[in-house]
Amino acid sequence: MSFNGEKKMSYDRGERPQKVDLGELSLVRYKSHGKQFELVVNPEKAWDYLHDGNVPLDDVVEAYVIFDDFRKGQKASTSDLEEVFGTTDEVQIAKTMLEKGHLLITQEMRKRFLEEKTKEIVDYIVKYTVNPKTGAPHTPQRIEKAMDEAGVRISRNRPASEQAPEIIKQLAEVLPIKLEVATVEFKIPASQAASMYGFLKNAGEVSEEHWENDGSLVITLKIPGGLLADIMNEVQTKTKGKAQMHVLKRG
């Protein structure tokens, strides 16, 4: 498996080691108008900021100081900042540098980020697909092997849910696999309805629900195919076999 990036922010491949030991910190470099600017950041937080969008900028930036050569401790001039960024507001400049600059990360970080994204995608595929011949989900190990066999390329910058449908199409060339969501109706006896309600609400997407006059719960869920067997077994276990379950639709 390999990957590529597609966001404006790009990432240093690590061929050229940094000349300064920043410890756990790193740099964002931005080049424009024949000039280079550098910003000291927490690389982990910078990654999360760019991909999750819910990390405060203050947690990302070590200090709102823009350098043109951090190694020499040389700060960028206000005239250069004004010329290139159209402002001297270092908070706004930091945002621009993060969005369009180059985040220097180590090979170890690159490997870990790729492994994390791969796991997200594999988990998604295991959850939402089945083997059409058996109706059973594939194991994570089988999905990973098929991804290798199919030469799948992974972008660590795109959400797993966005990449997975494309990857599933590639996997279909080497593995019997299909996306599946099952619609299932559950009827839970009154004595267990209250305790089971929260579990069922979290088990899938609720299509319909109502309470019978006797206090029993009838709820219809859309459940990812790869989770169907486990959820139905769990319901049976929790209700000691008293629940009624009907698969209304699969596909």
- pLDDT (0 to 100) of residue 3: 45
Considering only CA atoms, give the Rg of the chain.
25
| pLDDT score recorded for residue 1 | 58
Structure confidence at residue 237 (pLDDT): 97
Q: How far is CA 239 from CA 97, 157, 194, 233, 247, in A?
A: 56, 42, 12, 10, 18
To which residue do tokens 């080049």 refer? 31
Please tell me the distance from the alpha carbon of residue 118 to that of residue 43, in angstroms, as a whole number. Answer: 20
pLDDT single digits (tens) 126-179: 999 999 999 899 999 999 999 999 999 998 778 898 999 999 999 999 999 999
The architecture that CATH gives domain 19-104 is 2-Layer Sandwich (3.30)
Give, to the nearest 10 degrees, the angle between helix 190-203 and helix 225-238: 160
CATH fold for the domain made of 181-250: Alpha-Beta Plaits (3.30.70)
Q: Which two tokens stand for residue 15?
A: 């061929």
Q: Is 15 exposed, middle or buried (0-12, 13-18, 19+ CB in 10 A)?
A: exposed
- DSSP state, residue 9: S
Three-state DSSP class for residue 236: helix
Q: Which helix (H) or strand (E) holds 110?
A: helix 107-128
pLDDT digits (tens, 9 = 90+) for 56-99: 999 999 999 999 999 899 999 999 999 999 999 999 999 999 99
Q: 35-51, pLDDT tens digit by residue?
A: 999 999 999 899 888 87
Higher pLDDT, 73 or 8: 73
Q: What is the pTM of this model?
A: 0.66
Residue range(s) occupied by CATH 3.30.70.240 in the chain: 181-250
Is residue 11 predicted with pLDDT exceeding 60? Answer: no
CATH 1.10.10.900 fits 107-179, yes or no: yes
In the numeric block, the tokens 């937080």 are attached to 45
CATH 3.30.1250.10 range(s) for the chain read 19-104
Q: Are 196 and 217 contacting, i.e. CB atoms less than 8 angstroms apart?
A: yes
CATH 1.10.10.900 domain position(s) in the chain: 107-179
Q: What is the pLDDT of residues 182-208, one digit of tens each?
A: 999 999 999 999 999 999 999 999 999
| Residue 152 exposed, middle or buried by CB count within 10 Å (0-12, 13-18, 19+) | buried
